Amino acid sequence: MTDLLELGAVEARAALAARDVSAVELASAYIAAAEETASQNHYVAMTAERALEMAAQSDARLAKGEGGLIEGLPVGVKDLFCTAGYASTACSHILDGFTPTYESTVTANLWREGGVMIGKLNCDEFAMGSANETSHYGPVINPWRGKDGLDLVPGGSSGGSAAAVAARSALLATGTDTGGSIRQPAAFCGVVGLKPTYGRCSRYGIVAFASSLDQAGPFSRNVADNALMMQAMAGFDEKDSTSANVPLQDLTKAVGQGVKGMKIGIPSEYVMDGMDPDVVTLWQQGQDWLKAAGAELVEISLPHTKYALPAYYIIAPAEASSNLARYDGVRYGLRVEADTLDEMYAKTRAAGFGEEVQRRIMIGTYVLSAGYYDAYYLKAQRVRRLIRDDFDTVFRTVDAILTPATPTAAFAVGRKVDDPVTNFLNDVFTVPANLAGLPGMVVPAGLNGEGLPLGLQLLGRPFDEATLYAAGQVLEDSAGFTATPTGRAGGQS
């Protein structure tokens, strides 16, 4: 069984095509792995029966020599995606038991390409958080352990997705990234994560957090696997008005393009107080690797970088406060009975939303309210334009940008913080890409002094995921990152 878990997605797809392995065997292995790692709480709901059904159908197709891009490959789905007939709760009490009758476009794409759904993955409630500690279903434990077996966070909000791929309880997983929710957990868990260009993947059927920032993306063990999954997920959707009608490059080919002649920007502003020195070292190492592979390094400046986080923490909560207004107990989800409609709303939402979500709704409501809209919301939108302009300027001279993914490695579960802002700082390197709508990829590149994974981030031009895959593959090849977490299925726990 554990041998099966060793197959990467591309490998497994080939093995399935060659009928060396069956989809049902593969699905069973992952279902068992999920059970083995259950204490890490990756999954909020397993869909084992459905998985085996889908795997059997994949085997039937494969036997005929047919099959989609990811035929028979086990996929975990972040519980933010609506999956028809299966509870989709955004890991919130307010959507307890909500079972959509409809499928998100991204997951529909995956099933159409033959993906097999293993289960719904844990995440921060309504995607708000960077440690997967706000989920109604309890925190996710990173399969990588800290000193003396300390429990660590997997990052968030797609903590369950990243942890599952790292622990091999999923071969591939979907995530969403609004301020770093794919890239930061990818770094903390030592896996590959991509936030596509805004508009690449449809938002239809994904519980909305911040509509102008949210983007679905793939988690995988390696860059080539990621390209395969991205190819299956992405595409124009007329049900989403923000969906981009721009043809996707062949990413599975792009992976092998190399970086000869590519200009890589190194932004001077991507440093931070309290950054792990190992991160700085790794960033330098990444630059050396790319140079050795034929890329040219260019010092660039993104002057408004430090303002990205505060701008994000105005814009995202503002949009969220409005997007979450529909959770009111009237048409679905939790309802707390009361004598009047207003009381019902107030009690339902107080009981249904966790603290972090309530906090962000309050901030969002405040910054949009009369008298504050100009000073906060409009101001943040203006700064957003400046941040985007910074990128437009540098992309005239470079093809991609290399930065650290996170200021530190994964930290301890239940870390006490004095104020919420400390947690926000986890996203300092990832947020600018969301504000500017750019694609960003994180590739695991090394371990820190405590043996915890660190990632490097590549940022690209709008709709140029191909360049990220090419450069990402070079980083992966150069890094030779083969470490796996102690908490992985089949390993010693």
* The one catalytic residue among 78, 135, 161, 169: 78
Phi, psi (deg, nearest 5) at residue 364: -60, -45
Q: What is the chain's length?
A: 493
- Output helix, strand, coil percentages for the chain, rounded to the nearest 5: 45, 15, 45
Stretch touching other proteins by CB under 8 A, among 35-43, 178-186, 346-354, 441-449 = 346-354
Binding-residue total with other proteins (CB under 8 A): 98
Q: Is the dihedral of CA 146, 152, 154, 155 positive or negative?
A: negative
What's the burial of 131, exposed, middle or buried (CB within 10 Å: 0-12/13-18/19+)?
A: buried
Q: Which residues from 461-490 bind other proteins, rule CB under 8 A?
A: 462
120 belongs to the catalytic site = no
- Interface of this chain with other proteins, residues 287 to 306, rule: CB under 8 A: 304, 306
> Is 11 or 236 the residue whose CB approaches other proteins more closely?
236
Residue 379 binds other proteins, judged by CB under 8 A: yes
- Cβ atoms of 126 and 320 within 8 Å: the answer is yes
Q: Classify 177 as helix, strand or coil.
A: strand
Site string for other proteins, 402-431 (x = CB under 8 A): -----------------xxx--x-------
- CA distance readout (Å), 99 to 79, 84, 112, 176: 11, 7, 21, 20
Q: Give yes or no for residue 62 binding other proteins (CB under 8 A).
A: no
The correct pick among 287, 388, 451, 483 for binding other proteins (CB under 8 A) is 388
| 377, HSE (Cβ side, Cα atoms, 13 Å) | 18
Residue 50 within binding range of other proteins, rule CB under 8 A:
no
CB of 84 to other proteins, least distance (A): 10
Task: Candidates 382, 414, 415, 477: give the one binding other proteins (CB under 8 A).
Answer: 382
Name the strand (E) or helix (H) holding 115: none
* Binding positions for other proteins, 312-331, rule CB under 8 A: 313-314, 318-319, 321-322, 324-326, 328-331
Helix (H) or strand (E) holding 380: helix 379-394
What the block records as the tokens of 32 is 């068992």
Within 10 angstroms of residue 332's Cβ, the number of other Cβ atoms is: 15
Query: Number of helices and strands (H, E) in the chain?
Result: 17, 11
Rounded Cα–Cα distance for residues 153 and 140 (Å)? 7
Contact between 52 and other proteins (CB under 8 A)?
no
From the list 24, 29, 62, 90, which residue makes contact with other proteins (rule: CB under 8 A)? 90
Minimum Å gap between C-beta 207 and other proteins is 5
157 belongs to the catalytic site: yes
Q: Is there binding between residue 346 and other proteins (CB under 8 A)?
A: yes
- Choose the stretch contacting other proteins; rule: CB under 8 A; options: 5-13, 96-104, 154-162, 165-173: 96-104
Q: Is 244 in the site for other proteins (CB under 8 A)?
A: yes
Does residue 273 belong to the site contacting other proteins (CB under 8 A)? no
CA dihedral in degrees (314, 319, 320, 325; nearest 10)? 130
Strand partners, 266: 299
Select the span of 30-38, 101-109, 159-167, 439-447 touching other proteins (CB under 8 A). 101-109
- According to CB under 8 A, which one of 182, 208, 248, 300 is a site residue for other proteins? 208
- Look up 181 and say whether it is catalytic: yes
Strand partners for 400: 264, 460
Judged by CB under 8 A, the stretch of 27-35, 139-147, 151-159, 433-441 that binds other proteins is 433-441
- Choosing from 335, 450, 451, 493, the residue that interacts with other proteins (CB under 8 A) is 335
Measured CA distances, 417 to 354, 411, 421 (Å): 17, 12, 9
Find the catalytic residue in 181, 202, 243, 321. 181
Sign, CA dihedral 346-350-356-359, equals positive
- Chain positions 214 to 243 lying near other proteins, rule: CB under 8 A, are 238-242
Q: Could you list the active site residues?
A: 78, 157, 181
